Amino acid sequence: MNNKGQIIFRLGAVSNWVVSIGGIISPTMLSLTVKIPPANYPFLVRIWTGMVFMFGAMFWEISRDMYGKRHLIKYSWIEKCITAASITIGYFSGNVPGIMFALIVFTDYLWIPVFMYYDFEMRRIASNIHAAALLERT
């Protein structure tokens, strides 16, 4: 289970890194490449993509020791929910182009249930270990 989870979180890390690099280097060039209007505030794109890159580093850290880093796992799906909700609201209010919404489906929405699964699975394992330790004391 940990090996599969390790691969999942590493794929999540690489996915975050790949989609963030262009926005960090040149937000305007990135927008022109995907044929969307450049942002009025490129520094916000850099902040956002910088956070995406940072969360990729967190995913990689989780992959190195899923049980030991289990407390971080909840932030993986919370981050994805915040981004997905923000982009979805922007899309339905006419502020976000369809290509960006489609990208979020693959970079966020599809990851949410996977990351939630591993969050709850690590919590279950920790609970079982804690319960076994309590039984040993008695």
69-114 tens-digit pLDDT: 999 999 999 999 999 999 999 999 998 889 889 989 999 999 999 9
Is the pLDDT reported for residue 49 higher than 90? yes
- Average pLDDT for residues 65-71, to the nearest whole number? 95
Q: What is the pLDDT of residue 2?
A: 66
Q: Is the pLDDT of residue 1 over 60?
A: no
Instruction: Calculate helix-pair angle for 111-137, 2-25, nearest 10 degrees.
Output: 140
**Between vectors from CA 14 to CA 9 and to CA 20, what angle results, nearest 5°?**
125
Identify residue 88 by its one-letter amino acid code. T
What lies within 8 Å, CB to CB, of 45 at 6+ separation is 23, 27, 30, 31, 39
For residues 91 and 98, the answer to whether their CB atoms sit within 8 Å is: yes
- 15 pLDDT above the threshold of 90: yes
